[in-house]
A = this chain, B = another copy of it.
Amino acid sequence: MTVPPLYGLMQDRPLQISAMLQHAARFNQPREIVSRLPNQVFRYTFKQAESRVRRLAKGLEKLGVRAGDRVASLAWNTHRHFELFYAAPGMGAVLHTLNPRLWEEQLVYIINHAEDRVICFDPDLAPLVERFAPQTPSVKTFIVLCERAEMPANGHNWLCFEDILADDDFAWPEFDERTAAILCYTSGTTGMPKGVLCSHRSTVLHALYAQSAVAFGLTPLDCVLLVVPMFHAYGWSLPYVCAIAGAKLALPGAAATSANIVDMIHDEGVTLATGVPTVWTGVFDNLDETERNLGTLKRALIGGSAMPPSMSRRLREQYGVEPVTGWGMTELSPLGSFTGLTPEIDALPGEAREAALHHRAGRVLFPLEVKIVMSSGDAAPHDGRTAGDVWVRGPCVAAGYFRGEGGEMLDQQGWFPTGDVGSIDEHGSIAITDRVKDLIKSGGEWISSADIEKAATDCEGVAQAAAIAVKHPHWQERPLLLVVPARGAQPSKSAVLEAIRGKLAKWQMPDDVVFVEALPLTATGKIDKKVLRARYESHLMAAAGAA
């Protein structure tokens, strides 16, 4: 006998992005958003922001923007960009965040691929827009994110953002929570970037779990400095999390220099600041130069790539700031794990505690499902050692790329292979040991480039390190280590090798060390190994040949 299922008698209300801002406007009226502009520090309350966002939504509607239309932003972290984060999805359109640091041909490709109808951009990016505009015919409306007095004078039919704000009698529409909300392209290892299209449902669910005490865990006592660009992986969702948590939000604008970051931490009472490791390297330099401390800062969230142990130590020991990290990607909305103490980790002696807490990428967050797939195809035990391909599943995970690029993304059971390699321990803490494509295949054995880099960045006099696979006549591939010395330091090859020797097995040691002034970075600030691999591909072959 089949009994029909019984449905719950709960209100059938959709999860919508506009509700998060309305919540802040109603129940957190005095809380501020602070936005650093070229010539002033602008500040207003969430309540004032919500009114402007409704005026913006109505303004976009008057310009002909309709449900499903893509409204692109090409902008730094300011209050106007924040307003777009709510206005475009709130009215049923799709916010498409563009990365101004991409190559121009990639930008053109992405805008055309997304068929953006409107583009909103910061005035300093006007020359870039002027160059690519002739190649992006879908864009009908250009809006400059500035006051009228700041409008670039160049004879185009560009609109001023402040001029398009309409009356504030706009009411947020209700619609299906699976409606598209934000489109964010992610740079693949090969080919052109691919678009991840979040829904209202996934964005609100993600904000809810990102706000849990085992992740961002913000309260109205917090002030978040968003150094990570809002165009990068949905700004790590913080424009949304701050609204539902009631936290203050500080936006550093176009000039997110180390000095400005440290200034804002002091001026605004920042408690959590976010950035990729290179941001923190710059902040350290500024603190050294100016002999300042980190003021009210309690936590530094370091993401995008692994946090060097020397960085976490310095934050904690010198500045009393708790380093936290996580693992995520655009396809995960983006958060997958977050640093978190357990009683077992807390009870470990000094170095072991440090390693368990800061050298792994944190505990997996509900409702994300993660499994480690071994080469046998079986799931690995959660023993903290057995590594394999990291697969994920969940309501905030992408099911496919925009317009089907890259083909079918998921397996039959709905799992997405992330391309990361890692392990999970019994506390649910994940360690990302490498990207599948960055592994070095020496003979029949895999060597993790990340392990080599971790050992190297912990060495005195080393600022940054990158290990890459280069061709080898006998072993197919062997590791080459590239090192950027710390300011004023002149480490020798033998000193670097000596320092990392105890931390790696003999066969994992790099075959050579090359000192460079800087490492090439991708548009999102990660080390660009594609470029390095191409540049050093024959480094050992040459050496072998010469020998």
State the A residues within 8 Å of B (CB): 1-15, 19-20, 22-23, 26-31, 66-69, 92, 94, 175-176, 178-181, 196-202, 204-205, 208-209, 211-214, 216-221, 244-246, 333, 340-344, 346, 363-364, 366-367, 369-370, 382, 393-402, 410, 414, 416, 424, 426-428
CB closest chain-B residue, reference A363? B27
- C-alpha spacing A108/B377, complex, angstroms: 53
What is the distance, in angstroms, from A364's C-beta to the closest C-beta of chain B? 5
Do residues A382 and B414 form an inter-chain contact, with CB atoms below 8 A? Answer: no
Do residues A220 and B427 form an inter-chain contact, with CB atoms below 8 A? Answer: yes
* A246 cross-chain contacts in B, Cβ below 8 A: 214, 340, 342, 363, 428
* A66 cross-chain contacts in B, Cβ below 8 A: 1-3
- C-alpha spacing A504/B488, complex, angstroms: 72
Picked from B69, B211, B343, the residue with its CB within 8 Å of the CB of A213 is B211
Do residues A13 and B395 form an inter-chain contact, with CB atoms below 8 A? Answer: yes
Do residues B202 and A208 form an inter-chain contact, with CB atoms below 8 A? Answer: no
* A181 cross-chain contacts in B, Cβ below 8 A: 8
Picked from B29, B178, B209, B393, the residue with its CB within 8 Å of the CB of A426 is B29
Picked from B67, B346, B366, the residue with its CB within 8 Å of the CB of A5 is B67
CB closest chain-B residue, reference A16? B367
CB closest chain-B residue, reference A47? B426
- C-alpha spacing A200/B393, complex, angstroms: 18
* A176 cross-chain contacts in B, Cβ below 8 A: 5, 7
Query: Are A219 and B6 CB-contacts (below 8 A) given A27-B363, A367-B15?
Result: no
Query: Are A213 and B3 CB-contacts (below 8 A) given A9-B402, A397-B11?
Result: no
What is the distance, in angstroms, from A221's C-beta to the closest C-beta of chain B? 6
* A395 cross-chain contacts in B, Cβ below 8 A: 10-15
29 of the cross-chain contacts (CB-CB < 8 Å) are A1-B66, A5-B176, A5-B179, A6-B180, A6-B197, A7-B199, A8-B198, A9-B180, A9-B401, A10-B178, A10-B198, A10-B201, A11-B410, A13-B393, A13-B397, A15-B395, A19-B366, A20-B366, A27-B370, A29-B382, A29-B428, A211-B214, A212-B213, A212-B244, A213-B218, A214-B245, A220-B427, A221-B341, A221-B346
Q: Which 5 residue pairs across A and B have the least CB separation, nearest first?
A: A8-B199, A27-B428, A6-B68, A213-B217, A220-B342
Picked from B2, B208, B216, B245, the residue with its CB within 8 Å of the CB of A208 is B208
Do residues A414 and B208 form an inter-chain contact, with CB atoms below 8 A? Answer: no
- C-alpha spacing A212/B214, complex, angstroms: 9
Do residues B212 and A179 form an inter-chain contact, with CB atoms below 8 A? Answer: no
CB closest chain-B residue, reference A210? B212
Count the copies.
2
* A197 cross-chain contacts in B, Cβ below 8 A: 6, 8-10
- C-alpha spacing A414/B12, complex, angstroms: 9
CB closest chain-B residue, reference A12? B399
- Give the secondary structure class of A's interface: loop
Do residues B213 and A68 form an inter-chain contact, with CB atoms below 8 A? Answer: no
* A244 cross-chain contacts in B, Cβ below 8 A: 212, 366-367
CB closest chain-B residue, reference A1? B66
- C-alpha spacing A426/B6, complex, angstroms: 41
What is the distance, in angstroms, from A66's C-beta to the closest C-beta of chain B? 4
- C-alpha spacing A402/B9, complex, angstroms: 7
* A218 cross-chain contacts in B, Cβ below 8 A: 213
* A15 cross-chain contacts in B, Cβ below 8 A: 205, 367, 395
- C-alpha spacing A15/B369, complex, angstroms: 12
Do residues A200 and B8 form an inter-chain contact, with CB atoms below 8 A? Answer: yes
- C-alpha spacing A11/B28, complex, angstroms: 32
Query: Considering residues A9, A341, A401, A416, which has the most beta carbons from chain B within 10 angstroms of its beta carbon?
Result: A9
Do residues B393 and A26 form an inter-chain contact, with CB atoms below 8 A? Answer: no
* A29 cross-chain contacts in B, Cβ below 8 A: 382, 426-428
- C-alpha spacing A30/B342, complex, angstroms: 10
Query: Are A340 and B10 CB-contacts (below 8 A) given A5-B68, A15-B395, A366-B20?
Result: no
Do residues B68 and A4 form an inter-chain contact, with CB atoms below 8 A? Answer: yes
* A400 cross-chain contacts in B, Cβ below 8 A: 9
* A346 cross-chain contacts in B, Cβ below 8 A: 221
CB closest chain-B residue, reference A23? B366
- C-alpha spacing A200/B363, complex, angstroms: 24
CB closest chain-B residue, reference A415? B11
What is the distance, in angstroms, from A341's C-beta to the closest C-beta of chain B? 6
* A367 cross-chain contacts in B, Cβ below 8 A: 13, 15, 19, 23, 204, 208, 244
Picked from B13, B214, B221, the residue with its CB within 8 Å of the CB of A414 is B13
What is the distance, in angstroms, from A142's C-beta to the closest C-beta of chain B? 20
* A2 cross-chain contacts in B, Cβ below 8 A: 66
- C-alpha spacing A4/B202, complex, angstroms: 20
- C-alpha spacing A333/B246, complex, angstroms: 22
